Amino acid sequence: MSDRITPISFDNAVVTFGLWVEARLMERDDLTHLPKYTLYELLGTEAESENERLRRNSEMFAMFKGSVRRKVANAVIAGGV
């Protein structure tokens, strides 16, 4: 028998969290009518700097580049190319 309650529970948790975040993002300050919260505040993260974003993207590209090289080398060895 498959586990049917886990995906339902996960879906319920995601929907509940999404509704909570959406409700908080819609809250406005009474005087200025500006949003009370930012997405970064609600998620407990900080907005990353441009340098941090570029560093992370470079690391991800380097991992991808190595993965592609291994796949091509394996294909050549197997005679697929």
Note the Cα 12 to chain centre separation in Å: 19
Domains identified in the chain, total number: 2
Both 13 and 43 in one domain: the answer is yes
Both 74 and 43 in one domain: the answer is no
Both 30 and 66 in one domain: the answer is no
Domain span holding position 4: 1-47
- Looking at the whole model, is its pTM more than 0.85? no
Residue 72 neighbours by CB under 8 Å, 6+ apart = 81
**How far, in Å, CA of 33 to CA of 35, rounded?**
7
Percent of the chain past pLDDT 70, that is, above it, reads 84
Both 74 and 40 in one domain: the answer is no
Residue 39: name the closest of 52, 22, 54 by CA. 22
- pLDDT in the model for residue 1: 44
The ranges of the chain with pLDDT < 50 are: 1
Token output for 22: 């959406």
Both 3 and 34 in one domain: the answer is yes
